[in-house]
Structure 1
Amino acid sequence: MSSSIQSKKILIGVTGGIAAYKVAILIRLLIKQGAEVKVIMTTSALDFITPLTLSTLSKNPVLVDFFDRKSGEWNNHVELGLWADLFLIAPLSANTLAKLAQGQSDNLLVATYLSARCTVMVAPAMDLDMYKHPSVQQNFDTILRHGVTILEAGTGELASGLHGQGRMMEPEEMIDKVSISFRSQMDLKGKVFLITAGPTQEAIDPVRYISNHSSGKMGIAIAHEAAERGAKVHLALGPTNLKIVHPNIDVIPVVSAQDMYEAAKAIHPTACCVVFAAAVADYGPAEVSSQKVKKSGESLTLTLKKNVDIALTLGRSKQEGQIHVGFALETENEQENAIQKLGKKNFDFIVLNSLQDKGAGFKTDTNKVTYFFKDHTSLVSEVLPKREIAKQVVDLIKTHLDKQEQI
């Protein structure tokens, strides 16, 4: 019997989808491991599995509406949210995902979600084109920023007959994820992280600037992963349209490379780990015009000066026991350049992105990376959602921190 699940209060939310039949197996496994389980269903879920089945397995009444007309009792969504140690929504439909992302509360399940103070996990299940649709992916990013853990759908044959990503994670694997979550919750509590993310903008004049295509998604995902595990995160964030909502994340908005350096330098002495994920402009205009530069002639010569190398500069003042993690985005001689930066900038490990790899790079929701370590070993990831890469990065940081504490 799993000690991490034993006696835990787990609230299961079931939405409409053919994968709802798997919830019966999930509840049975949770009960077998000693959890106390309650179930909320949406009205759409009633078309796929009966409340009688789930109430029999959970040994608790299944709740659907705010008001139970048979008993005359009010189902208090606030009390349900406070009761649970974990709220697991499985399957999660695209419709309910949109409601979670937008903060709607037109049914008991989503109202309880808005009241929950515990860890929230979701196990999406939908057809592959729905799953990959930009609006659905945007909603996933939104709930991720709100602190929700996403149990990525698997790849296989779908109810439509198509083959691709969209199958709800199997109950046995979900049990493993739940168990790991309870074991790892707050494993970074008391730790202070400094993370740089996003682009910088180097002003030419009041209306123009030099920048790059970074969205900040990778650095923000790492910030959320660390915050979810209890770390206090200071996020020096360049200009981006992404919103960050998490009580453990202190967002420090910056614009230029110098702004980011000043913000990072102020936090650096107190941080046990620094992740340099920002795409900082290497050069900026030598002179910034106070007025808009007018068009004249067939060409314009712009003189650039080198910006401060934040990772290199702070690497020179790295303290004993402090972990520094770098990122390298390369288009040629990728490994050689990354390994050179690893030593030159005093990183404990570096994460290489290659624009030659499909699914990696700026603005994508996925990434493929190679990790290079000081002991000359390396590790290559598959193409994964950036939130999964973030988990890998934070897991590696935790391993390094544990080793430092053992010294």
Structure 2
Amino acid sequence: MLTGKKIVLGVSGGIAAYKAAALTSKLVQKGAEVKVIMTPGAQNFIAPTTFQALSRQPVYTDTFDEQDASGIQHIDVADWADLFLLAPATANLIGKLANGLADDMLSTTLLATEAPVYLAPAMNVHMYSHPAVMKNMKQLDAWGFRFIEPGEGYLACGYVGKGRLEEPLTIVQVLEDQMKKKQLLKGKKVLVTAGPTREQIDPVRYFTNPSTGKMGFALARQAAELGADVTLVSGPVQLDTPSGVHRVDVTTADEMYQQVMQHYPHQDLVIKSAAVADYRPAVTYEQKMKKREGDYVVEMERTKDILKELGETKEHQYLIGFAAETQEIEKYGREKMKKKNLDAIVVNNVSDEGAGFGHDTNASLFFTKKGTEETYPLMTKDELASKVLEAAAKEMSGGWA
């Protein structure tokens, strides 16, 4: 899966830099073209000539040492890369990348590249768990950077714990697995809905729900990583658009209906994870309603059932719905799958701790019309999204017996 891939290996200043030499060799043996960029700190641990000999490519160490006067090397290298690998990724490099700092060849090239970036952290166990480092890694994860988690064991500082650079063979295997996954939805068009809707009463008041959009954004991000052409129709949320995803922002249930129906005919896979309002105020006031004595009754009317209409009008599309339940989740999930003519459904018990609205984790049941049944324990929403998409891709390609 790595044959012919153009890989930029960024080596930063940690004792684990010596492992990057073995990593370079193994990537070349897999048929990849490897160009190495070293930070000044990395050169204190290992010489550039080592990487030059192993990669049979020039090694970049200085932004201003232009090796080819016809171009600008940090831009040219950034454009050349099919993927970027940072191993070891020190706390300093992670911090610079998370905050947009660029003061050497490696950091300037990272800001200029549009290739997928994989980080293999390596540092002292206490540095790894420091709130600042964790915050920076969380930010990079939200932007779509991929992490190859460090291993646990004896560290150069004498501590035993998490922080040791993952072994080169494992890093290569992760990259190969990721390349393989990118074929699952390659060439497919995927539509995902996410977040809540807002139904206005007047200019300063509205009805909504607790949805944050995290599950839908995870699905969109993972679908893009599987090679899909992804359109994300999102209600009002405070989330960054996943890399490689086309985002359409809406506010009301009717706006979401219009956008979904417009895009629907051209899609191969549609996932309705948005928490769309079932009702909206029958009357919306143009001016702020003033407080009055006594109670106030708001007359509500039904919104359009987007998922039901998608089920009724689908042709070639594979349609997945979501159900947020608090009791008898399997029963209600199966009923919804049948009633809405879905191909599959993800059912969440939102009363479970760590699952449902607002959390970074989720636990679900997954059913399909063809009989696939999966129980997914508590995991990150990105992990759940990956499992749902892989299951859908297998069914779409006839992979399930």
* Alignment counterpart, residue 81 of structure 2, candidates 84, 91, 94: 84
* Alignment counterpart, residue 361 of structure 1, candidates 356, 362, 370: 356
Question: How far apart in 2 are the matches of 1:255 and 1:125?
Answer: 43
* Contact map agreement 2:36 2:58 (CA 8 A) in 1: yes
Percent identity for Structure 1 against Structure 2: 39
Matching of residues 328-343 of structure 1 within 5 Å:
328-343=323-338
Indicate whether 1:242 and 2:258 are aligned: no
Superposed displacement of residue 237, structure 1:
0.8
- Which TM-score applies when normalising by structure 1? 0.84
**2:260 alignment counterpart:** 264
* Contact map agreement 2:184 2:390 (CA 8 A) in 1: no
SS in 1 for 2:251: coil
* Alignment counterpart, residue 322 of structure 2, candidates 317, 321, 327: 327
Question: How far apart in 2 are the matches of 1:120 and 1:324?
Answer: 31
Q: CA RMSD in A?
A: 3.2
Superposed displacement of residue 245, structure 1:
5.9
Superposed displacement of residue 346, structure 1:
1.7
SS in 1 for 2:135: helix
Q: Which moved more, 1:236-245 or 1:127-136?
A: 127-136
Q: Cα gap change, 1:56/1:253 in structure 2, threshold over 3 Å: closer, same or farther?
A: same
Q: Letter of the aligned partner of 2:37 in structure 1?
A: I
Q: Can you list the C-alpha shifts for 1:57-101, whole angstroms capped at 9, x where unaligned?
A: 4344532221349x9999811221233332112233444334334
Question: How far apart in 1 are the matches of 2:160 and 2:294?
Answer: 55
SS in 2 for 1:260: helix
Q: Which moved more, 1:196-205 or 1:385-394?
A: 385-394
Q: Letter of the aligned partner of 2:251 in structure 1?
A: V
Q: Which moved more, 1:394-403 or 1:121-130?
A: 121-130
SS in 1 for 2:265: helix
- Which TM-score applies when normalising by structure 2? 0.85
Indicate whether 1:281 and 2:250 are aligned: no
Q: Which moved more, 1:5-14 or 1:253-262?
A: 5-14
* Contact map agreement 2:95 2:133 (CA 8 A) in 1: no
Matching of residues 139-178 of structure 1 within 5 Å:
139-144=139-144, 148=145, 150-153=146-149, 156-157=152-153, 159=155, 161=159, 168-178=165-175
**1:135 alignment counterpart:** 135
Q: Cα gap change, 1:400/1:34 in structure 2, threshold over 3 Å: closer, same or farther?
A: same
Structure 1, unmatched stretches of 5+, are: none
Structure 2, unmatched stretches of 5+, are: none
Superposed displacement of residue 317, structure 1:
0.8
**2:248 alignment counterpart:** 252
**1:194 alignment counterpart:** 191
Indicate whether 1:221 and 2:218 are aligned: yes
* Contact map agreement 1:9 1:83 (CA 8 A) in 2: yes
SS in 2 for 1:204: strand
* Alignment counterpart, residue 37 of structure 2, candidates 37, 40, 45: 40
SS in 1 for 2:129: helix
Superposed displacement of residue 201, structure 1:
0.7
Question: How far apart in 2 are the matches of 1:168 and 1:385?
Answer: 23
Q: Letter of the aligned partner of 2:129 in structure 1?
A: D
**1:205 alignment counterpart:** 202
Q: Letter of the aligned partner of 1:139 in structure 2?
A: Q
**1:58 alignment counterpart:** 55
